[in-house]
A and B are shown apart, each in its own frame.
Chain A
């Protein structure tokens, strides 16, 4: 009988360990990570920033795109008003959406450019580094523009280059113009950003 209880205890501890490992991998223990995905929907914006001066680097901001939700809402609206001629209204709504998104796009472009400027001027290029290195960083920014977290998500293969990118972001610390960004836009596009460091 004693043997069995010992095995039981051993297997219980083993279960505990495995559970802890799995939970750890699922980031259960992280308090910061609660900020992740659920609310904000980053959008895809490809910004190619051409500079004459070779010394200045090119930084692209790439954000993820979910436009699925917006389409769903349109469809929802349409199904709710059967008597009115659906085509007109849907057209109007779509137009409205277009105008809104184009001005939104414009705003996103504008603010992204400002971010790129700041990061670019904060970046010190490491010496004796090969050309053509690219790394990806993810930033989490709060409403005041303060960069809450920076993580390397794809290395360039050169640790010194990766470090220089992270240092540049840390040096910027705060994007002061974030107060000008309307809250919805911020939630959608600027809370979670993936940056590609790709200097020329």
Chain B
């Protein structure tokens, strides 16, 4: 047993000595590496289908898209006028639940635009709430700049994208 131990000791030393000698005889960089490249699995996302409203109400509400200024979520008087018909439609059909989605134009960062779209949608919801439409009937979400309606990079395209839609 002791013999084996000593043999091991000798073997342990020799590569060590070799490396030291190798290193000490030059200022050269000596390295060894193994390539690691892990595998990757692909996942497919299953998209949920949104429930749809009856067609009439949908038509009224679809026209209730309101628009905003750059970096703003304030409702203009024109927007308020547009929303009046939506309020009426909601009051007439008290069972209807709607989703308001907020959007932004493509300029600026995506996350900030996501938050901006959210504020825009919330402005609409708050207006509806003030006018008697319970918040529990309104779902609010944002698509930021991910659902651009107008693709150009001029101001007229940008202004079409800064919106809140009712679905």
Contacts and interface: CB of A to CB of B under 8 A. Distances in A.
B35 interface: no
Interface residues of B, number: 15
A17 B64 CA distance: 84
B86 to A, nearest CB: 52
B42 interface: no
Interface in B109-135: none
Interface string B1-43: 0110010011001001100110111110000000000000000
Given A16-B17, A17-B16, A17-B17, A23 B24 contact: yes
B9 A20 contact: no
A3 B6 contact: yes
A10 to B, nearest CB: 6
B24 A24 contact: yes
Given A20-B24, A29-B25, A6 B17 contact: no
Nearest to A22: B24
B2 A3 contact: yes
B8 to A, nearest CB: 11
Interface residues of A, number: 15
A13 interface: yes
B20 A17 contact: yes
Chain B interface, >50% SS class: helix
B20 A20 contact: yes
Contacts of B23: 24
Given A2-B3, A3-B2, A6-B6, A29 B13 contact: no
A113 to B, nearest CB: 34
B6 A13 contact: no
B163 to A, nearest CB: 40
A13 B17 contact: yes
A47 interface: no
Contacts of B17: 13, 16-17
A140 to B, nearest CB: 15
Interface in A6-32: 6, 9-10, 13-14, 16-17, 20-21, 23-24, 29-30
Interface of A: 2-3, 6, 9-10, 13-14, 16-17, 20-21, 23-24, 29-30
Interface of B: 2-3, 6, 9-10, 13, 16-17, 20-21, 23-27
22 contacts: A3-B6, A6-B6, A6-B9, A6-B10, A9-B10, A10-B9, A10-B10, A13-B13, A13-B17, A14-B13, A16-B17, A17-B20, A20-B20, A20-B21, A20-B24, A21-B24, A23-B24, A24-B23, A24-B24, A29-B24, A29-B25, A29-B26
